[in-house]
Each structure stands twice: as C-alpha cells, then as structure tokens.
Amino acid sequence: MKFWIVKGNPELNDLSEMLVPGRNSTWYDPSDQAKNGAQVGDGIFFWSSRRDRFLIGLGQMGNPLTDEDESYYYFDLTYLTEPFRNKITIDELKRDPFFDPKNPDCPYFIRPGPVQTRYPLTSGQAKRLAEMILESNSNSAPLTKILSGWFPKLIAKSIPSIEKFPEESEPEAYEFPEGPRIYALHVRSERSAKASSEAKKRHQAKHNGRLPCTICEFDFSERYREVGRDFAEVHHVVPLSQYETNGIRSTLLSDLIVVCSNCHRMLHRKRPCLTAKNLEKLLVKKKQRF
C-alpha cells in the first residue's frame, strides 16, 4: 500500500463540500504523472491549496480510467472522511522535522515548484501525518478506524483502542459509510464556475425556477424539498479534454446542459462520453420494458 497527497484547487473545487464519506469522484493528472505507481486501495491525504493551506481529509485510490486523449490520466477515488474538525496547517507541518523544507527528504507538496494533482509520500511521512491528525482529532472514532487499518502498530501504541470510546457512541460511527456512486469531474484549470452558474440560471428561467435534469427530468427540489433547492450538476457537451489549443477555449452556454448526478455519471461512463440523446434513448427502453 502506498500513500499520496492529492491537492484540490479551492477556487474551482471546494474540498470542504466534496468530502462526504463513501462518495466517489473522478480526478485527473497530466500524462507525465500517469506512470507513478498508484494502485487501487492506496491511501490519500487531501490537501486544500487555499491561501492558508491545510490537510483536510482522507480518501482511497480507485481504478484508473482509460481515455482516448493521452494528455490526461483519469482516476477514481473515494472520500473516506468528512473535513477534519481540526485541520493540519502548512505552518504546523513546516515546524515538524519530517516536513521542514530544509530537510532534503521533505515531500514535494511542501516545496515550491510546479503544481500537480498527486504527490507521493514515503511510509514514514504518511505515518507522521497520521500521528498529527490523531493528535489534533483524538476523539474521532471514524478517523481512528481508518488510520488503524493503515497503521495498526502506530494506532495501538499512540492512541486508545476504539473500544475505549464513550459507550453512547453508536456502533455505526466506527464503520465506513458507503453510498451510491456520484460523479463529479474535477478538471481544474479549464472549468469555469461562472459558466456553470450561468447555465443553471438559464435553465431555471426556462423551467419557472426549477432545475430538472435535461435527460431524465429528475428535480432535486421536488424530491428533497429545501435541501435540494437550486441543486443540479452541469455537463460539458464537448468534454474539456477534447478542447483544442492545449485544452483551452471559451465555453459557450450552448456547450453546457443541466443534469442530475446519476445521469452525469452515466454520460461519463463510456469513453468517449455518451450524448444526452443516446442516454435518453436508454432510459426510454428501460421504461418500455416495464
């Protein structure tokens, strides 16, 4: 088992909202990082690259995804935790000998240099991060459960066993919540949050303030009432990876459609992506079958 730092750009992807235990997501790396030895089941430490930079959560590496566009390397991952209650800041790390920038073995995500998505950690560095996380979040049973699986000897030596937590804690708190696969394509440098917002506003204007899925007509506000209000996802009809000029171009509102999470995931299920019309035909066939 190997360990990685995975960085997210906070201007385009808010890890504090994305970190939901059991949720799956698809990320990408430039192709020059593709052959870095990552394997299914590897441990992930999520790093927020906000101005105050901090360690925010844990995850697990999933399957690599094939893509005809060799300039990108896509991979699935699973979020294992909510955002840490007490986050580990860049200043705290730099005060630790393992992560002192003057240390020649300091991991690359601490050092100045080219920005990338994944950074490898040695086993020793990962153990030290686990220690710091548990020192700052000592009463978190879910964190204890996860990190005890990654570092059994470390956990047994440095913190109380799970059985010593208060009896009123529910047994479910010690398990990994698992739920449906929810797709969120995080293409950092190209995605425009403003374009997505404008696409939703245009869709609402056409549907009397609602945000039904363009493909299956599912409406989060109808199903989940207030908590689902104004929620939907936005899909690029032409995948960002297929844009010309080094993958950069202006996005038009006509390039975007509003979809539900399930349809969004299914559109990206195949390479190249399914079209909205193709997926809608699959839905019709299923309805006719029953």
Residues 58-67, mean pLDDT to the nearest whole number: 78
- Note down the domain range covering 204: 193-289
Claim to verify: residue 112 and residue 223 sit in the same structural domain: no
pLDDT in tens, 257-272: 999 999 998 988 877 7
Residues 23 and 157 in one domain: yes
Q: Which residues contact 241 (CB under 8 A, 6 or more apart)?
A: 28, 67, 69, 71, 72, 187, 247
* Residue 183 included in any domain: no
Using one digit for the tens of pLDDT, what is the confidence trace for 132-148?
Answer: 998 888 778 888 889 88
Same domain membership, residue 279 and residue 228? yes
Pair (156, 204) in one structural domain: no
N-terminal to C-terminal alpha carbon distance within the chain: 45
> Do residue 45 and residue 156 come from a single domain?
yes
Mean pLDDT in residue range 91-96: 86
**Cis, bond preceding 272 (omega within 30 deg of 0):** yes
Mean pLDDT of 200-220: 92
- What interhelical angle do 141-150 and 123-136 show, nearest 10? 160
How many whole angstroms separate alpha carbon 90 and alpha carbon 230?
35
pTM attached to this predicted model: 0.52
Tell me, yes or no, whether 187 lies in a domain: no
Q: What's the number of domains the chain is made of?
A: 2
Residue 200 and residue 252 in one domain: yes
Residue 169 and residue 202 share a domain: no
The pLDDT mean for the chain works out to: 77
Amino acid letter for position 281: K
Quick one: average pLDDT of 23-52? 76
Please give the pLDDT value at position 180: 57
pLDDT confidence of residue 114: 60
Q: What is the pLDDT of residue 138?
A: 76
Which among 138, 267, 161 has a CA at the least distance from the CA of 214?
A: 267
d(CA 147, CA 138): 12
